[in-house]
Structure 1
């Protein structure tokens, strides 16, 4: 238990350069959790394949904000493909205020959760436990 509390989770979070509302709301949720230390490896304006690989290669988990899918399907699908190629667990966050997640995204997920802070934190921790169990 104490080991988890002292761990710093390295996270890549999907984001769009021109639309930060959902991203900012999500960051606020993570920052609101007092027992969850994390480092963001995402860089908004670095979205070509090589730059994304560089951002993702050392992360523990990739978080996809599925509400952004309709705004830039190609980027979100590329992030999912790269995460799968790098064998990173993928946590999908449902669109804010909705239950449905596009099928292509849901199929790639280690976990799918809503916007409850404790559920988000638990899903990150559990996706890493699941990943360790598979090794």
Structure 2
């Protein structure tokens, strides 16, 4: 069985969305992944500089097959979500594919995420997993 290495982009202000996405991925049968996100309790968040956090995120994304980004309108205003998109698209010889995930019941999504995603999917396990598999 293949493992998918994922970086799940998120703003710590939207922890519930991140946890909900993990639940969606975990409930999908025959889908195994590793989450390379930088956890909120990582010391680089609390005692590191912005440059150290950028490098930590870059090092994690480098190991990944796909970057998942919650595509809510708030993503447009998140400094770190925007930096994660920049890293995925500009820091590597082969840009990392991005799956934009439309939050549950969202009518609008972030223009920044829409412009940079290789695929936009709804808030359900089948769509998300299908996009990951299609892009790897």
Same fold (TM over 0.5): yes
Gaps (5+ residues) in structure 2? 46-52
Task: Indicate whether 1:61 and 2:39 are aligned.
Answer: no
In structure 2, C-alpha distance between the alignment counterparts of 1:18 and 1:105, rounded to whole Å: 17
The 3-state SS of whatever aligns with 1:78 is helix
C-alpha offsets along residues 72-95 of structure 1, whole Å, 9 cap, x if unaligned?
A: 521111000000023100000012
Alpha-carbon RMSD across the aligned residues, in angstroms, is 1.6
- Unmatched segments (≥5 aa) in structure 1: 1-5, 129-135
1:104 aligns with 2:101: no
Q: Report what 1:11 is aligned to.
A: 6
Q: 1:7 deviation in Å?
A: 0.5
| Partner secondary structure for residue 12 of structure 1 | strand
Question: For this pair of structures, how many residues does the alignment match?
Answer: 122
Q: 2:127 aligns with which of 108, 119, 134?
A: 119
Is the Cα–Cα contact under 8 Å of residues 13 and 40 in structure 1 kept in the other structure?
yes
Partners of 1:107 and 1:19 in 2: how far apart?
A: 21
Does 2:89 match 1:90? no
Distance 2:29 2:56 in 1: 31
Structure 2: distance between partners of 1:43 and 1:81: 16
Name the residue aligned to 1:28. 23
> 4+ residue stretches of structure 1 with deviation over 6 A?
none
Q: Is the 8 A contact 1:14 1:63 kept in 2?
A: yes
